Amino acid sequence: MIPTESIFAISKAIKDLQQRGQIHVAKYRKDTRIGISIPLYSVHTRSEKDSELHAGDVLGGMATNRYAEYEFVLRSLISRDIKAKILDVGCSTSAFSSKISKFSRNRCEIIGIDIVNEIDNLGFPLILMDAMNIGFKNKTFDQVMCLSTMEHIGLDHEGVNAKHKDPNCGINGDALAMKEIWRVLKDKGTLILTVPYGRLIIKQQSCRVYHKDSLSILTNMFFVVKKEFFGLKKGKWTKCNELEANKSTSLEYSSQKFHSEIIACLLLEKS
């Protein structure tokens, strides 16, 4: 099983397998509505038909939650007809924002912040900056994205905070980050937020899993425009309702390297 703890791990695994000639991009799935092509990978086996991966799938027969997240993001982005300023929080392992810039016909100015820099030439400016202390003026951004990041802020995720000697390391790091995001958003600005969901837990002091009450507390400064849930079923992430999501026992799924079997995707407006 290829680790899917983070998009960086997925990207690295895919790159390594491509270099070894074990997989290749079989084709691209073009979304005519948004104009973005999604690569579909195929494993080099005797039966090409059996090995082809379809939308929503990734290596080893296990779907990555990023597919569900990105679909939600593309449906929640600020209009590409607006010249907007977007902040991407915790994006050092993904070049997704560069695709968004192209999708917006380069009208959007995208700035990324993270406490590490894992990938060179992301295609947009990346500033080494802590989400608990964002160094921008009040009401700077039209939209903020925080994908699979909030659950780690302030905690010792993969030794990152310990390595950087983060003085604010702690259980309330997510609340501090949400206050900072609210501060730098313009009035009526929006936040696209995705987090693991299920039974309230902090896994190995590196990741929070939110439940109904804790997510409500986390987002109480914002108006919820929409909220969607996706569950891991038979190796694929599929949409589920909130009742099903609330029944999740969260992760006893550590063997699969996911934080939870449910992810919550929210579009929030500064109120």
pLDDT in tens, 100-118: 766 666 678 889 899 887 6
Within 10 Å of residue 6's Cβ, how many Cβ atoms?
A: 21
- Indicate the pLDDT class of residue 92, thresholds 50, 70 and 90: confident
Q: CA–CA distance from 195 to each of 56, 62, 127 (Å)?
A: 18, 19, 23
Q: Which residue has the higher pLDDT, 159 or 190?
A: 190
Q: Hey, which of 11-15, 128-132, 168-172 has the most confident mean pLDDT?
A: 128-132
More confident residue, 153 or 158: 153
Give the predicted TM-score (pTM) of the model: 0.72
Q: Is pLDDT larger for residue 47 or for residue 152?
A: 152
Confidence of residue 61 (pLDDT cuts 50, 70, 90): very low
- Which domains, and CATH codes, for the chain? 64-270 (3.40.50.150)
User: Is residue 271's pLDDT more than 70?
Assistant: yes
Residue 271, number of CB atoms within 10 A of its CB: 11
Alpha-carbon distance values, 245 to 112, 191, 217 (Å): 30, 21, 17
Q: What pLDDT shows up at residue 141?
A: 98
How high is the pLDDT of residue 263? 94
Cβ contact 92:118 at 8 Å = yes
In the predicted structure, residue 64 carries a pLDDT above the cut 80:
no
Q: Tell me the helix, strand and coil percentages in the chain, rounded to 5.
A: 30, 30, 40
Lowest model confidence (mean pLDDT) among 24-38, 52-66, 166-180: 52-66
